[in-house]
């Protein structure tokens, strides 16, 4: 049993609630945590080297830029699932006025070791106006 309560700032620029991982539960092939993105903030563009992710949005709405060069845009709302294949860049942006809460599962039991931050591409320069959720 892992009781939620602790949180940490991830390399992705978002707050993650401690969940299932190699450290918390001895997991060998996955991690599961809760991510929060405050209104009017964004994460950091990143990839998870060699690991796939599945995201379920509990509440809020997030614009996710993803794919090669972060050229694709998908709006994810409460009740939606999103799959991110291994090595695919992605960037969440919360343009709304409510907190986004999502459950994220990834095939990386180490939680942060596979996170590779990236630079914001020129075509998304306007997102510099959005503060990173956890700088």
Q: Can you list the domains of the chain with their CATH numbers?
A: 7-127 (2.60.120.10)
Question: Strand, coil or helix: what is 73?
Answer: strand
Helical residues (DSSP H) of the chain, grouped into ranges: 22-25
Output the pTM of the full model. Answer: 0.88
**What confidence score (pLDDT) does residue 6 get?**
76
Position 20 confidence tier, pLDDT thresholds 50, 70, 90: confident
Q: From start to end of 3-60, where are the E strands? A: 7-9, 15-20, 31-37, 41-42, 46-48, 53-59
Tokens of 61: 């709405």
Q: Which two tokens mark 65?
A: 């830029």
Range of weakest confidence among 59-63, 75-79, 81-85, 117-121? 117-121
Taking residue 16's Cβ as centre, other Cβ atoms within 10 Å add up to 22
- Residues 89-115: pLDDT tens digits? 999 999 999 999 999 998 887 766 667
Pairing state between β 31-37 and 100-106: antiparallel
Give me 45's structure tokens. 């563009």
Q: What is the pLDDT of residue 13?
A: 74
105-115 as b/e: b if 16+ CB within 10 A: bbebbebeebb
């Amino acid at each position: 049993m892992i009781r939620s309560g602790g949180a940490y700032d991830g390399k992705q620029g978002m707050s993650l609630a401690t969940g299932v991982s190699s450290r918390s539960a001895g997991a060998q092939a996955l991690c599961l945590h809760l991510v929060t993105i405050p209104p009017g903030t964004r994460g950091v563009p990143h990839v998870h080297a060699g690991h796939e992710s599945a995201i379920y949005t509990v509440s809020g709405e997030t614009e996710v830029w993803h794919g090669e060069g972060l050229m694709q845009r998908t709006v994810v709302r409460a009740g939606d699932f999103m799959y991110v294949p291994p090595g695919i860049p992605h960037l969440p942006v919360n343009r709304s006025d409510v907190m986004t809460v999502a459950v994220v599962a990834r095939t990386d039991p180490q939680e942060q070791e596979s996170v590779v931050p990236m630079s914001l591409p020129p075509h998304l320069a306007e997102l510099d106006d959005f503060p990173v959720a956890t700088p």
